[in-house]
Amino acid sequence: MAEFRVALSGDFRKADGSPTFPDFDLTPLLTAKNVETVYLDNVSPLKGEQLADFDALILLAHRFDAGSVPKSGRLAVVARFGVGYDTVDVQACTTNDIALVITPDGVRRPVAVSIITFILALTGKVMVKDRLARMGGPGFAARGEHMGVGLVGKVLGSLGVGNIGAEMFRLAKPFDMKFIAHDPFADKAVAAELGIELVSLEELFALSDILCVNCPLTPETHHIVNAERLALMKPTAFFINTARGPIVDQKALTRVLQDRKIAGAGLDVFEQEPTDPNDPLLKLDNIIAAPHALCWTDQCFAGNGAADVKAVLDVMMGQLPRGIVNREVVDRQGFKAKLEGFAKRFG
């Protein structure tokens, strides 16, 4: 029986050939019958000729654009390692009968936990108190000047209340905060269940004591956090972004933080990644920064990997995988034919 061939983008391996993320367990693929798994060369964007003889691709951080689509027409699924897909040309996938799959179950809890980490670190002034403790006597003498902020009764706001946003609110329940969110696509039943008041965009910025970004990067959300909206925030408010950097006008955020117009920010994502060490934002003492990796834990990567592997094996069996982004591909005859062919060969 012909093999089902799975490609992994080259950034899943280090230069010495060892796995970049050992917690990504490939055993279910490596032990599956009729499956061959191959690492691609470490190039980005991927080239179409690299993928000509593959049925599935598991994609880490490399870009997949129109030039990445193989002319063979064989590729059926791109399984993105994570939930962000701004590195993938979605329309090119759909046009060529390729399902784009993400891993919401793998990142839901880890990213929500990272948001809670920022909330507690910012309001507890953890970074400042760490420095004070290292100063000895003078630091201890100054500790009363750096009082933290209690959470009871404070307003936790979210720009977006989907998979991760809803999980963030679930985890924050014991803090006895008031929950608000703005999301034109919000599931009203979920919002009601979690006690979230859905508000306008302007109200979200004006009312939140802690404002978190939990929406995807799209043309509509690019720079949705801008100078005008940041100006609505309370001077005591904190801003947190663990989603995507370009959702925020970073220069506007930098000015607001420089001028102490808000209390501080927790940032795991930036408009330019990797960051420029000389970026004025990184010189500020009222931010906590992480290199787009705060949610990176053994459990997060194990969960993402398991979800991608399952999606690929589902496609091999002729079944629809979970987490399809371009849902319209499901009704395309070319994609249906691919699934039917796999079902006959491997199902």
Nearest to 40 by CA among 75, 19, 9: 9
Active site residue 322: no
State the number of CA atoms in the 13 A half-sphere of 279 facing the CB: 17
Candidate list 109, 182, 229, 244, residue with the active-site label: 244
Which run of H or of E encompasses 252?
Answer: helix 250-258
Sheet containing strand 264-267, edge to edge, reads 196-198, 178-182, 155-159, 210-213, 238-241, 264-267, 287-289
Beta-sheet pairing, 56-59 with 287-289: unpaired
Please identify which of the residues 202, 273, 328, 340 carries the catalytic annotation. Answer: 273
Contact of 88 with 213, CB cutoff 8 Å = no
Give the whole-angstrom CA distance, residue 289 versus residue 267: 5
| Residue 326 burial (C-beta neighbours within 10 Å; 0-12, 13-18, 19+) | buried
Q: In this structure, are residues 110 and 303 in contact, taking their beta carbons and an 8 Å threshold?
A: yes
Beta-carbon contacts of 270 under 8 Å, excluding residues fewer than 6 positions away, are 245, 250, 279, 281, 292
> Cα separation of 177 and 111, whole Å?
20
Of the residues 108, 182, 229, 292, only one is catalytic, namely 292
Per-residue tokens: 282: 């990184």
Structure tokens at 192: 């009601």
For the stretch 90-95, contacts whose Cβ atoms lie closer than 8 Å and that sit 24 or more positions apart, written own/partner, are 90/325, 90/326, 92/64, 92/65, 92/66, 92/68, 93/64, 93/69, 93/326, 93/329, 94/326, 94/328, 94/329, 94/332
Does residue 203 have an active-site annotation?
no
**Catalytic residue status for 244:** yes
| DSSP SS3 for 298 | helix
Q: What is the rounded distance in angstroms from the CA atom of residue 234 to the CA atom of residue 232?
A: 7
Angle, nearest 10°, between helix axes 104-123 and 163-172? 50
Which of the residues are catalytic?
A: 244, 273, 292
